[in-house]
Structure 1
C-alpha cells in the first residue's frame, strides 16, 4: 500500500470571510489546511508544527505579521511564506523579503493568482533548487524540457511534458481533472466544454511510458482524476 502525506498549509488571516474563502479554495486542491486568526494562535502553531506553505497577513489584531515572520526566520522556516496584506508598502514588502518570505501578494487579489503563487512555492520547495525531477527510472529535465527513461530520451509534446511534470511533482497524490486542466491550460480552460482533451493527452503519455519501459504509471481514479505511482517491480 502506498502511503503519502498531503502538503499542509497554514493561513494566518483575521478577516473571517477571506479566511474561509482561502481555506475552501486550497482544500479543493487537496491540501491540509490549518488556520489562525491572530498572532498568538499563529505563534503557537508555527512553534510546534511544520508547514509546507504559510499565508501570512501582516495586519493582525494583536500584532504585526512581520513579528511572526521573524519568529519563523529564527526557527529556519521562513522560506515558504507568502505575505498577503492590504498594506501595499514597499518598506513592508522589502522587510518581509529580507526576513526570508518567498513572495508578497497585495489585497485584493484573485484566488486563482494566490493558488498559482502557492503552487510555485511548493514546486520550489519540492525541487530544492534542482532542475530535474526523478522517480524510479525516469528523469524530467525542467530546464531543457527533456524526458529520459533508462537514460534514453523520450519525445513529449509541450502539453504532455507539462502534465507529466505536474504528476511527478504530485506523485502518489490524487490529481483532479480540474486541477490538472487549470495547471496546464491556465485561463484558457474556461473555453473548454469538457475534459476529453485531458483523456487523450493522458492516453498518449501512458502509451509512451509503457513503450519506453518506465517504472511509473498513471492510474485513473474513476470520476475524479488520476494518480501517478511508481510500479511495484516485485509484483511483476
Structure 2
C-alpha cells in the first residue's frame, strides 16, 4: 500500500484531553501532528521547523500568547494559523476576529477543524495561480475550465472541484472523508456514505481517459485518492 502523505500540523493547546482527540483524528485523516501545551516551546519549534498549518488555542491573551501571535505575524505564518478559543470576558469573538486569522470557537467538531485546515491549504495553494498544467492537460482556475490539447473537457461542477482539489494536493493521498465533505454543501460533517463520491470519481476518470489522460487519479484502497501526475 502506498505511504499516506498529509499535512504537517502543529497544535498548541493546554487541554490535554482535547489535544489527544485532535491528534488521533488528524492522524486518521493522514496528517502528521505535533503538540505543545504552551506558547514558548511551540515558538521554538516554529522557528526551527516547517509546518503546513498551526492550530493555536488562545485562552487569556496573556503576554506569552501575545508574543507568539506577534511571532506568527512577523514570520508570515498568520495565514497558516487557525485560532481556537472558548469565549470569555477577555477573549471575545470580536477580539479574535480582529486578529485577522482564521478562528474556530470551542467546542468545535473534529471534522469542522479538518475543514478549516483544508480551507487554509486550498487558499494557500490557489494564491498566485491562474493555471495548473499536466503536460497537455490544463486547468484554468479563473475560468473553471479544463482542456486537453486545447479541447475542452466537459466536467460537471463537482468533477471540476474534485480534480482541482486533487491537483492542489499533488502526490498526497486525500481521504474519502475529506473529499466527501469537500464535495458536499460545505458542512463539516461527511455524508453518511461515499456513494456520491464514488460516482464523481468514476465519471471524472472516464472523461479524463476519453480525452487521452489516463491513470491520472490513483485509488488508494481503503483510504482515498491521489493525483500522481508530475505537475509543471
The TM-score with structure 2 as length reference comes to: 0.83
Partner of 1:15: 15
**Mapped partners of 2:61, 2:36: distance in 1:** 12
Structure 2 residue aligned with 1:93: 97
**SS of residue matched to 1:219:** strand
Aligned to 1:229: 228
The 10-residue stretch of structure 1 (49-58 or 221-230) with the greater mean CA deviation from structure 2: 221-230
Aligned partner of 1:168 in structure 2 is 167
Cα deviation digits, residues 119-164 of structure 1 (max 9, x gap): 1111111222434443333222333321122232110012211221
Residues 137 and 36 (structure 1), Cα distance of their counterparts in 2 relative to 1, 3 Å cut: farther
Structure 1 residues 167 and 92, CA, compared in 2 at 3 Å: closer, same or farther?
Answer: closer
Which residue number corresponds to residue 148 of structure 1?
147
- The equivalent residue for 1:118 is 117
Match of 2:76 in 1: 76
Q: How many residues align?
A: 224
**Cα distance, 1:89 vs. partner?**
4.2
Q: Which structure carries more helix by proportion?
A: 1
- What stretches of structure 1 of length at least 5 have no aligned partner? 232-236
Contact 2:30 / 2:175 at 8 angstroms: preserved in 1?
A: no
Aligned residues of 1:14 and 1:38 also touching (Cα < 8 A):
yes
Equivalent pair of 1:137/1:215 in contact (CA under 8 Å): no
Segments of 5+ residues of structure 2 without an aligned counterpart are: none
RMSD after superposition: 2.8
Equivalent pair of 1:13/1:60 in contact (CA under 8 Å): no
For the structure 1 residues 133 and 4, does the alpha-carbon distance in structure 2 shift closer, same or farther, using more than 3 Å as the test?
farther
CA contact (8 A) 2:6 2:172 kept: yes
Q: Which residue of structure 1 aligns with residue 191 of structure 2?
A: 190
Q: Does the 8 Å CA contact 1:4/1:172 hold for their aligned counterparts?
A: no
Distance 1:132 1:60, change over 3 A: farther
Instruction: Give the structure-1-normalised TM-score.
Output: 0.82
Task: Supply the distance in 1 between the matched residues of 2:150 and 2:66 (Cα, whole angstroms).
Answer: 47
Separation in 2, partners of 1:201, 1:81: 31
Could you tell me how far apart the structure 1 residues matched to 2:108 and 2:195 are?
31
Partner of 2:52: 52
Change (3 A) 1:201 1:54: same
Kept in 1: contact 2:40–2:64 (CA 8 A): no
Q: C-alpha distance in 2, partners of 1:133/1:18?
A: 38
TM superposition shift of 1:191: 4.3
Alpha-carbon distance between aligned partners in 2 of 1:191 and 1:44, rounded to the nearest angstrom: 41
Residue 52 to residue 207, structure 1, CA distance change in 2 (3 Å): same
